[in-house]
Amino acid sequence: MFDQSERMQALTSAIFTQVDDMRKTEIAAGKDVITLSIGSPDMAPAPHIVKALKDSVDCCFNYGYTLSKGVPDLLSAIAGWYNTKFGVKLNPETEIHSLIGSQDGLAHISLCLINPGDVVLIPDPGYPIFSAGPLIAGAELYKMPLTPENNYLPDLAAIDETILKRAKIMILNYPNNPLAATAPRSFLEQVVAFAKRYNILVCYDFAYSDLVFDDYRPDSFLSIPGAKDIAIEFNSLSKTYNMAGCRVGYVVGNAHIISLLGRLKSNFDYGIFYPLQQAAIAALTGSQNCVAETAAAYQRRRDIIVDGFSEIGWVADRPKASMYVWAPVPTKQSSYDFTVSLLKNTGVAVIPGSAFGACGEGYVRIALVQPEQRLSEAVTRIRKWLKP
């Protein structure tokens, strides 16, 4: 038997694995399970994106290694998209790097900056890679509580000076997974000033930038004056264009940090499959009607869940963005026990909030990744269970 390394002991996917194993067990027993646990889009990319992929796949010269940084046309497409969407001007040569999904960059950025004893500030609740990446790099984690009392924003003033003197990185994510929370521009301005004061790199996960509702429009962190001095921003085509399995993402911002990440990645991989880069170019430069249609679909799904739950006394916030609903546990159970009961009694699979950190206890995350009819069915099943 081979012993795992010490760094592996800090990594866990236990709750996610347990929920998925229980879901599979229920399916194997013949139960119709409505899967609202994993945040994997169920919609397809737009036809013009698929066509670009097909056309490129048909070319026999497109199967070699690609540069880790990304082909020039992709980098230019990203720069153009950011300028059009957020008024952020980027140099394709120095301020953009492609990623094999944004999680690739989030997993590896700490390896570029962290030495033993350095601190990384992470949100709690937070997406698991926010802690896994720094832990692999040997960082100490400082968890910033995100609470409804503070509108799910970290209280920067509450962080002790001794921690801030050792902090190298702060990870933020808005629109947020799992909370579906958003951040006002005034808060982002505070973060820029804060990061400059303590010389902290801000890593801003902006993967849900386009899944927005009710005329809400989020700010790119890089649109804040001075942000490029202390920040990089991660984005992805996974959710915006329904390309999650394609693993196409990118990082933009501070040129020095991006050069470090690029150097690290050049030792790990050879970049994204060329036809996928062509599909990404088509997505970023083609008609954006598909993005509006996707966001509208998630808005309708959000309303089915939030309104349906409200009718049975299960009150959840109506998010302005993302593909999730963050709902308080409506029984006196732990989030994990409620998740188990919900699955066994209704065949609806969700993720307990405790999977995202201690501050997630008492909530569940519901992914809006099923058609409207299935979401309505989920509400009906839950109503019969909670209000027999």
The CATH number of whichever domain residue 376 belongs to comes to: 3.90.1150.10
Give the tens place of pLDDT for each residue, 88-99. 999 999 999 999
Structural tokens at position 344 = 């066994």
- Residue 2 pLDDT > 90, yes or no? no
Q: Indicate if 268 and 375 belong to the same structural domain.
A: no
Mean pLDDT of 16-34: 94
Q: How far is CA 341 from CA 28, 181, 366, in A?
A: 18, 26, 15
Q: Indicate if 254 and 303 belong to the same structural domain.
A: no
pLDDT bucket at 14, cuts 50 / 70 / 90 = confident
Residue 315 lies in domain: 6-44+289-386
Dihedrals phi, psi of 203, to nearest 5 degrees: -105, 110
- pTM of the predicted model as reported, rounded to 2 decimal places: 0.96
Q: Indicate if 294 and 280 belong to the same structural domain.
A: no
Which of 285, 313, 338 is where one domain is finished?
Answer: 285
Q: Indicate if 238 and 296 belong to the same structural domain.
A: no
Give CA–CA dist 118/132, Å, rounded.
Answer: 15
Indicate the number of domains in the chain: 2
Residue 55 domain flag: no
- Residue 10 pLDDT > 80, yes or no? no
Mean pLDDT of 316-320: 97
Residue 265 domain flag: yes
Give the tens place of pLDDT for each residue, 40-49. 999 999 999 9
Q: How far is CA 37 from CA 52, 115, 366, in A?
A: 31, 35, 6
Torsion (CA) 336, 337, 340, 341 in degrees, nearest 10: -140
Give the tens place of pLDDT for each residue, 288-306. 999 999 999 999 999 999 9
pLDDT bucket at 3, cuts 50 / 70 / 90 = confident
